[in-house]
């Protein structure tokens, strides 16, 4: 793997972690699926907190080192979260996820049963 690839991967990871941890709308969009949104407010807030504080990354669940997916158990249910990369108009995939001027990040929290 080239140094440039490693630099891009590190930048993508940094941008993904910033969005996930902060839920700052300037960094991307945070979405709950219908199933997550229908949960009781306390469970929904705990799922958001689990997503924001997730740090159980490994070679197995993060093979590209981009911190773009995670899963956790909460209240007897399995949740996933994932980050997708779109162009600024949300019409197509991003041509360069390492460049925030060319990318809109969308973080989705989803019940495993909805996947």
d(CA 69, CA 52): 12
- Please choose, from the candidates 27, 6, 26, the residue with its C-alpha nearest in 3D space to the C-alpha of residue 18: 27
Going from the C-alpha of 105 to that of each of 13, 24, 39, 43, the distances in angstroms are: 12, 11, 24, 24
Q: pLDDT (tens digit, 9 = 90+) per residue, 64-110?
A: 999 999 999 999 999 999 999 999 999 999 999 999 999 999 999 99
At residue 115 the predicted structure's pLDDT band, cuts being 50, 70 and 90, is confident
- pTM here? 0.93
The residue length of the chain stands at 115
- Cα angle at 94 between 18 and 59, to 5 degrees? 55
pLDDT band at 4 (very low <50, low <70, confident <90, very high): low
């Amino acid at each position: 793997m080239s140094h440039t690839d490693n630099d891009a991967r590190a930048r993508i990871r940094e941008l993904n972690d910033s969005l996930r941890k902060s839920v700052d709308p300037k960094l991307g969009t945070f979405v709950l699926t219908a199933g997550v949104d229908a949960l009781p407010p306390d469970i929904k807030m705990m799922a958001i907190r689990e997503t924001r504080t997730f740090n159980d990354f490994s070679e197995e669940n993060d093979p590209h080192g981009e911190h773009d997916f995670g899963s956790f158990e909460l209240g007897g249910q399995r949740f996933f979260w994932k980050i997708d990369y779109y162009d600024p108009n949300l019409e197509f995939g991003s041509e360069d996820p390492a460049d925030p001027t060319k990318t809109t990040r969308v973080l989705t929290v989803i019940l495993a049963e909805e996947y």
